[in-house]
Amino acid sequence: MTKIITIITLFICSLLSAQNVKLTVSVSGIKNNAGTVKVGLYNSEGTFLKTTYKSVGSEIKNNKVVVVFDNLPAGDYAISTYHDENNNGKLDKNMMGIPSEDYAASNNAKGFMGPPSYKDAKFDLVKDSKIEITL
């Protein structure tokens, strides 16, 4: 009986770990190597562009950045990214609230008179994947 329970437990653990995937995000179109690129990963519409599920900042090399998110549960996600050219840790905006630093979202989602929506930026992550975003 102990052997059966052990086998079932190992089988369940292997299923759970098999559902974790890796997401590689390549960001190109960066106009210079100054500052950093921030990449935010979101896992729900309610937190999109408010609170990241995971985030990574990376130095720019040859006007490109590649970041990796490991051990993600399979599901729906969206990405927003921006070039923090002055390294102040935030997306700078002008007096009218329009971003003055380059930014983009997954699926090349664009907003009309505002930021893109989660619905337009979301993608289904079920296996190890690579996403390319151009600022």
pLDDT in tens, 24-63: 999 999 999 999 999 999 999 999 999 999 999 999 999 9
Supply the pTM of this predicted model.
0.83
pLDDT-based confidence at residue 111 (cuts at 50, 70, 90): confident
Distances (CA, A) of 126 to 53, 54, 75, 129: 17, 17, 6, 8
Q: Whole-angstrom distance between the N-terminal and C-terminal Cα of the chain?
A: 58
Angle at 100 between CA 118 and CA 46, to 5 degrees: 20
